[in-house]
Amino acid sequence: MDEPLNLVLFSGTDDKLQAAAVLTAGAAALGKPVNVFLQYWALDAFTRAKIGLDHGLAPEAGEAGRTAVDALAKAGQASWAETLRQAKDLGTVDIQACSLSMDLLGLEESDLDPLVDGVEGVTAFYLNAGEGHVVFI
Amino acid sequence: MDEPLNLVLFSGTDDKLQAAAVLTAGAAALGKPVNVFLQYWALDAFTRAKIGLDHGLAPEAGEAGRTAVDALAKAGQASWAETLRQAKDLGTVDIQACSLSMDLLGLEESDLDPLVDGVEGVTAFYLNAGEGHVVFI
Amino acid sequence: MDEPLNLVLFSGTDDKLQAAAVLTAGAAALGKPVNVFLQYWALDAFTRAKIGLDHGLAPEAGEAGRTAVDALAKAGQASWAETLRQAKDLGTVDIQACSLSMDLLGLEESDLDPLVDGVEGVTAFYLNAGEGHVVFI
């Protein structure tokens, strides 16, 4: 359990981000360090301007999926952002923005929510990943 | 080859589930144990009510993709569910539903197809995963 | 860093293929061998007929995403195919088409762009993967 879990987040829909948050919190609860690397639409979802908004669901969710997710939110289920904040309190979770995706989306570091710890390139991501798993979400 | 392959299935479209079934069957054929963890729309596809239905394709498949997949199905290609049943005969394949996703979709264990071996939380998934790869599909 | 990075490419949109190309190039730059296995819509994107075309973006990209990606392309950013060609010059990158997906799409080896090094089954993919990570994109 010493090697980190390394999550590359690409998708920015609320269902995939919630799945990623649950995988992060579970690893943190087990004492496993987690490195999160934000690309493309996932990075967009972590901006100050957008982190609190509705980011939609994967197209396959359909009407029934939308209803289920809305019902849980109304019942007070933690959002993926809240789940990640709790995971950071629980264990070692480092969240980095991909520098290439920052350029793509025209973002400055000050545009990012404080959940994001910094900006790095893909080579730095690999070096931090060590021998741990890499999971693309 | 002793460490398990651990597949987190999130997507519920027939093309991604077929890709996951092929990866499972290949690993089982090589004697590698496989742990499958069902979340969100993948879990929905493993319910008794829906496992036999058409689950659509990823949006990018387009018209040509739809035609290709339909042609194979008519030619008698095994469905992803059949491929997974065969993989279970061939090797060690354990399929678990994510307990959080069960709550999200309002499912009981009796709603699930017999392909599913049980329900567990993300922490149990990690403990079973050991040092094996985690792949998110 | 001796174990290969093993990427299963399933999606054929330009944003996911660019993310995969960046992960490939970064690993190659660090001297890590990369095995790429092309399934479904990713394989379709590597055909001679289609590799130079616009393959669209993930549905979640939206209008703003489309605009950002178009702006970068006009500014001369390398396409994913170019990034992969550069990665092959930089390190050891082997790109194989999944034989089952070749059948699904009705493709011959001569239909594939020269970036693709050959066709293999999933068992051969696992045997080449060794103890390295498997990442599904």
Domain ranges in chain C are 5-136
Q: Is the pLDDT of residue C100 over 80?
A: yes
Contact A128, B129 (CB under 8 A): no
User: A137, B136: Cβ pair inside 8 Å?
Assistant: yes
CA distance C79 to chain B (A): 19
Residue in B20, B27, B10 with CA at minimum distance from that of residue B97: B10
Q: Domain C5-136, CATH 3.40.1260.10 — does that match?
A: yes
The β-bridge partners of B91 are: none
Residue in A12, A135, A25 with CA at minimum distance from that of residue A77: A25
**Residue given tokens 């095994």 in the structure block:** B78
Question: Considering the entire predicted model, what is its pTM?
Answer: 0.95
- B136 → closest Cβ in C105, C122, C136: C136
CA distance B71 to chain A (A): 22
Residues of chain B contacting A, Cβ within 8 Å:
8, 10-13, 39-41, 44, 55-56, 58-59, 98, 100, 103-106, 121-123, 125-127, 133-136
- How many Cβ pairs within 8 Å bridge chains A and C? 59
Q: For all residues of chain C together, what is the average pLDDT?
A: 94
Q: So what's the pLDDT on residue A42?
A: 98
User: B136, C133: Cβ pair inside 8 Å?
Assistant: no
- C41 → closest Cβ in B22, B30, B58: B58
Query: Chains with ≥3 Cβ pairs under 8 A against B?
Result: A, C
**Residue given tokens 């890709």 in the structure block:** B19
**Residue given tokens 């392959």 in the structure block:** B5
CA distance B41 to chain A (A): 7
User: B137, C136: Cβ pair inside 8 Å?
Assistant: yes
Residues whose CB falls within 8 Å of the CB of residue A11, separated by 6 or more in sequence, listed in order:
A17, A41, A42, A58, A137, C58, C60
What ranges in chain A are assigned the alpha helix state H?
14-29, 40-45, 62-74, 80-90, 99-105, 122-129
| Mean pLDDT, residues C124-130 taken together | 94
Residue A37, token pair as written in the block:
């690397």
Q: So what's the pLDDT on residue A77?
A: 83
The β-bridge partners of C47 are: C112
Query: Chains with ≥3 Cβ pairs under 8 A against C?
Result: A, B
Query: Chains with ≥3 Cβ pairs under 8 A against A?
Result: B, C
| Mean pLDDT, residues B7-29 taken together | 97
Residues of chain C contacting A, Cβ within 8 Å:
5, 15-16, 19, 22-23, 25-27, 29-30, 32, 58-61, 65, 68-69, 72, 133, 135-137
Q: So what's the pLDDT on residue C1?
A: 54
CA distance A89 to chain C (A): 28
Contact C38, C97 (CB under 8 A): yes
Contact B90, B28 (CB under 8 A): yes
Segment C16-72, tens digit of pLDDT: 999 999 999 999 999 999 999 999 999 999 999 999 999 999 989 888 888 888 888
| Mean pLDDT, residues A68-85 taken together | 88
Q: How far is the C-alpha of A104 from the C-alpha of C84, rounded, in Å?
A: 19
Residue C137, token pair as written in the block:
């994109």
For Cα atoms A110, A112, A113, give the angle at the middle one, nearest 5 degrees: 120
Q: So what's the pLDDT on residue A95?
A: 98
Q: So what's the pLDDT on residue C23?
A: 97
User: A127, C69: Cβ pair inside 8 Å?
Assistant: no
Q: How far is the C-alpha of B57 from the C-alpha of C12, rounded, in Å?
A: 13
Residue in A117, A95, A91, A96 with CA at minimum distance from that of residue A28: A91
Segment A53-75, tens digit of pLDDT: 999 999 899 888 888 888 888 88
| Mean pLDDT, residues B105-111 taken together | 96
**Residue given tokens 């660019």 in the structure block:** C18
